[in-house]
Chain A
């Protein structure tokens, strides 16, 4: 009887007969809940860490991918410009070849003139020998 009266007044005794203002069942449940909550928070924390690591990793990957992409673009441009460079080099070489050709032509003309002189001189010598 007395128990009920106490109970009504919001006072309870636990197993150790200590006076409590909370229902022992509820108290136990609360404690359990508290424990569970702590566990939950820990787990969430862990999860966050893991996810953070993941994000970092992904970011790194993204950066790498970006780098590679730039490199690829660079390489592609280089390739294009090399074609142009080649063209320029070719042009330069052509100019140099033209120059050499002109020099060759000059030498050819000189050689021709000298051959003519040689022929003339041989003729002269022949004539000289014959007449003597």
Chain B
């Protein structure tokens, strides 16, 4: 990625430019010490003087935020301009000064609207921070201190304020009683801060010639090398993926993790302020020598399989097929804003249209017009893609048909990112920003909420979500990482019963599902972990550790990110920005394929060929999940779980189909389901026996009493159990029923035999099976 800068020959301002702000993607306002407000129109390359203010030295400018609710208002109408005489001015788009308010003694160094546009924050040389109403009435003085406050910014939820005091950064909540967070951030005075809405990260720049990235708890994530001159400005791109840094004769483009994509050395003097255009494709910088510098972000890069795509110019993409070195040029009518390449399709959004290319044919894209608002995120799945913008989320097919548009009441869609939205062929998952413990799930094809419409709720805040991509709709799983960095997995669709949310990993920094099979990979503390078959926890928890592949992640250095997991290739970006590719074993994916097609013999043959414990363990779990006990037996034998092989053998010998299913469920730990199946089939005794075997005495007795059979059986087994452990009966209910019931083992045994015979009779077709089946003899 690179910045393409443009500077006029002669500066338009006669003195230094102090501040600037965009209204749309092509219109910029700038103010300088020559008292002028200039309006730059980039479409016509015209610059007009809007107004010449009398004796005002502007310092900071901030546009009133676009109304979030009123959809008609598409651009900002007024802005706040702070000046060195201690005032701030509310100025309309046409340059009329609507109001001037005396705010601070000494200069007003910063003025910022909150994201809702309900409050204005100003900071002054006098060390005060004040909050004003929309119309410019003083609401409160938030803080007061000895040193000037050079920069302030709102937190994403507009409930906290970040400001500088000397070398320290302070996060102060608006609520007076809440805790204030303060830390020393730089070795010099801090000149600029910025806090991104989408990724919740903080940027700071100071006179120690460094810029730093922090998380919202003040933990350092990145610190740059020392520059030659103080860093005078920093600004986040609207999508939170990039940020720009300005210094003397220096303009830098950096990734959100801090490493730098590109460095430009334009002849600008110090760059006092940087503003990103609304669509995030270009920046403008206020230069000390009266220039306003414009810089376009170009040469973004996308890779998928054998295709490499580069945005060579604003409206041109170059596609290179690495296999045969064929080069295609894609031309667009407008500037490219977002693009995504995956699953054989390239989706490109410009300011007005959306283009869908197939990797098979670059010449004839499918083009459709976009609804109003720019696209902030494109997500792809095998069959459709999702466009996320300020007006909502829209699911399109690759034929360009609008499939659905989930309704998200109260969710700001323009701040969603790839960590908070996930798409699979049949499901859309969205994490709410207002309540981060919730995940909203939608049917992709209809846009309606999944199941009963209740969102998935977790105990604590969720950080990242991801849906698996393959397999049946009913078995769709979602993996998510919470604030404690624990990795959980759960089913998306719930049928009646409460589906368990199960923890499968701790200290997980990043995760990704493979795009071709349900294999999950993650970076766990210092290890790189691949869960070959995460579904195993629903089948046989003991196998989880055996189906996991781990390797040392030290080659990825500190804080790596997973970029993609295509087929069996994982691409990881290290903290220094370099990409590292690593392969995971191809066999589990093949195994997934065989199992998906129920080719059990092939699957077993594959495992015999590979001779790996992990693969056998995966097969065992898959076989049990699909209730193919023959394969399961082979697989369990291969990994040496003899007890399980024995149990499977005993299941095979069971007389009826229902008992078999029930015992397979029992095998996976689904006791309730197993019992329900038995009761449904009228196998009351078997259900009771299941509970007895599990020492679930109360439930066994309850069933027996409810169905008025085998009460004596339960009591007999209970008695035997108590005798074995030389204990006394303490349970009230058992004492109550024990009275008047004579325990005769012969009679009970006869009854049991009868029950089993009855079951066998019912399944007369299966009666040729071995005679020696008695549930009581198991385990």
Which of A's residues lie within 8 Å of B, judged by CB? 88, 91-92, 95-96, 99, 102, 105-110, 113-114, 116-117, 120-121, 124, 131
Contact call B582/A117, Cβ cutoff below 8 A: yes
Among candidates A96, A105, A110, A124, residue contacting B580 with C-beta atoms closer than 8 Å: A110
Pull 9 A–B residue pairs with CB atoms less than 8 Å apart, ordered by A.
A99-B263, A109-B574, A109-B578, A110-B579, A113-B555, A113-B579, A117-B581, A120-B583, A121-B583
Chain A minimum-CB-distance residue to B264: A96
Among candidates A92, A121, A131, residue contacting B249 with C-beta atoms closer than 8 Å: A92
**Hey, which chain A residues are within 8 Å of B260, CB to CB?**
99, 102
How far is it, in angstroms, between the C-alpha of A46 and the C-alpha of B357 when the chains are bound? Answer: 97
**Hey, which chain B residues are within 8 Å of A92, CB to CB?**
249, 265
Contact call A113/B581, Cβ cutoff below 8 A: yes
Contact call B576/A106, Cβ cutoff below 8 A: yes
Answer whether residue B569 sits at the interface, using C-beta atoms and an 8 A cutoff.
yes
Chain B minimum-CB-distance residue to A114: B581
Among candidates A105, A116, A117, residue contacting B578 with C-beta atoms closer than 8 Å: A105
- Given A105-B578, A106-B576, 17 additional A-B pairs, CB 8 A: A96-B263, A96-B265, A99-B262, A102-B576, A106-B579, A109-B579, A110-B578, A110-B581, A113-B555, A113-B580, A113-B582, A114-B581, A116-B582, A117-B583, A120-B583, A121-B583, A124-B586
**Hey, which chain B residues are within 8 Å of A109, CB to CB?**
574, 578-580
Chain B minimum-CB-distance residue to A109: B578
Contact call A91/B263, Cβ cutoff below 8 A: no
Q: How far is the CB of A93 from chain B (nearest CB, A)?
A: 8
How far is it, in angstroms, between the C-alpha of A110 and the C-alpha of B265 when the chains are bound? Answer: 27
Answer whether residue B425 sits at the interface, using C-beta atoms and an 8 A cutoff.
no
Query: What bracket does the count of chain B residues touching chain A fall in?
Result: 20 to 34
Q: How far is the CB of A81 from chain B (nearest CB, A)?
A: 15
Chain B minimum-CB-distance residue to A121: B583
**Hey, which chain B residues are within 8 Å of A102, CB to CB?**
259-260, 576-577
Contact call A95/B250, Cβ cutoff below 8 A: yes
How far is it, in angstroms, between the C-alpha of A82 and the C-alpha of B506 when the chains are bound? Answer: 60
Chain A minimum-CB-distance residue to B249: A92
**Hey, which chain A residues are within 8 Å of B574, CB to CB?**
109
Contact call A91/B583, Cβ cutoff below 8 A: no
**Hey, which chain A residues are within 8 Å of B249, CB to CB?**
88, 92
Chain A: interface secondary structure?
helix
How far is it, in angstroms, between the C-alpha of A98 and the C-alpha of B723 when the chains are bound? Answer: 81
Chain B minimum-CB-distance residue to A108: B578
Chain B minimum-CB-distance residue to A124: B586
**Hey, which chain B residues are within 8 Å of A114, CB to CB?**
581
How far is it, in angstroms, between the C-alpha of A95 and the C-alpha of B225 when the chains are bound? Answer: 11
Which residues from 373 to 425 on chain B have a C-beta closer than 8 Å to any C-beta of chain A?
none
How far is it, in angstroms, between the C-alpha of A88 and the C-alpha of B228 when the chains are bound? Answer: 10
Chain B minimum-CB-distance residue to A89: B265
Answer whether residue B495 sits at the interface, using C-beta atoms and an 8 A cutoff.
no
**Hey, which chain B residues are within 8 Å of A120, CB to CB?**
583
Q: How far is the CB of A124 from chain B (nearest CB, A)?
A: 8
Which residues from 501 to 545 on chain B have a C-beta closer than 8 Å to any C-beta of chain A?
none
- Tell whether A91 pairs with B228 under 8 Å between CB atoms, given A96-B263, A99-B263: yes
Contact call B581/A106, Cβ cutoff below 8 A: no
Q: How far is the CB of A53 from chain B (nearest CB, A)?
A: 47
Contact call B265/A95, Cβ cutoff below 8 A: yes
How far is it, in angstroms, between the C-alpha of A92 and the C-alpha of B248 when the chains are bound? Answer: 11
Answer whether residue B725 sits at the interface, using C-beta atoms and an 8 A cutoff.
no
Contact call B263/A95, Cβ cutoff below 8 A: yes
Which residues from 572 to 631 on chain B have a C-beta closer than 8 Å to any C-beta of chain A?
574, 576-583, 586, 609
**Hey, which chain B residues are within 8 Å of A117, CB to CB?**
569, 581-583
How far is it, in angstroms, between the C-alpha of A110 and the C-alpha of B577 when the chains are bound? Answer: 10
Chain B minimum-CB-distance residue to A128: B609
Q: How far is the CB of B30 from chain A (nearest CB, A)?
A: 25
**Hey, which chain A residues are within 8 Å of B569, CB to CB?**
117
How far is it, in angstroms, between the C-alpha of A114 and the C-alpha of B570 when the chains are bound? Answer: 11
Q: How far is the CB of A128 from chain B (nearest CB, A)?
A: 10
Chain A minimum-CB-distance residue to B267: A92
**Hey, which chain B residues are within 8 Å of A106, CB to CB?**
576-579
Chain B minimum-CB-distance residue to A120: B583
How far is it, in angstroms, between the C-alpha of A95 and the C-alpha of B266 when the chains are bound? Answer: 12
**Hey, which chain B residues are within 8 Å of A96, CB to CB?**
263, 265
Which residues from 205 to 243 on chain B have a C-beta closer than 8 Å to any C-beta of chain A?
228
How far is it, in angstroms, between the C-alpha of A102 and the C-alpha of B575 when the chains are bound? Answer: 13
Chain A minimum-CB-distance residue to B572: A113
Q: How far is the CB of A44 from chain B (nearest CB, A)?
A: 59
Closest 7 CB pairs of A and B: A106-B578, A109-B578, A92-B265, A99-B263, A113-B580, A110-B579, A113-B581
Contact call B581/A95, Cβ cutoff below 8 A: no
Chain A minimum-CB-distance residue to B586: A124
Of B249, B574, B581, B609, most A-chain CB atoms within 10 Å: B581
Chain A minimum-CB-distance residue to B555: A113
**Hey, which chain B residues are within 8 Å of A110, CB to CB?**
578-581
Chain B minimum-CB-distance residue to A100: B263
How far is it, in angstroms, between the C-alpha of A107 and the C-alpha of B581 when the chains are bound? Answer: 12
Chain A minimum-CB-distance residue to B576: A106
Q: How far is the CB of B301 from chain A (nearest CB, A)?
A: 12
Q: How far is the CB of A127 from chain B (nearest CB, A)?
A: 10
How far is it, in angstroms, between the C-alpha of A113 and the C-alpha of B579 when the chains are bound? Answer: 8
How far is it, in angstroms, between the C-alpha of A114 and the C-alpha of B609 when the chains are bound? Answer: 27
How far is it, in angstroms, between the C-alpha of A30 and the C-alpha of B705 when the chains are bound? Answer: 173
**Hey, which chain B residues are within 8 Å of A124, CB to CB?**
586
Q: How far is the CB of B382 from chain A (nearest CB, A)?
A: 25
Q: How far is the CB of B223 from chain A (nearest CB, A)?
A: 15
Q: How far is the CB of A106 from chain B (nearest CB, A)?
A: 4
How far is it, in angstroms, between the C-alpha of A114 and the C-alpha of B260 when the chains are bound? Answer: 22
How far is it, in angstroms, between the C-alpha of A54 and the C-alpha of B228 when the chains are bound? Answer: 58
Of A96, A113, A117, most B-chain CB atoms within 10 Å: A113
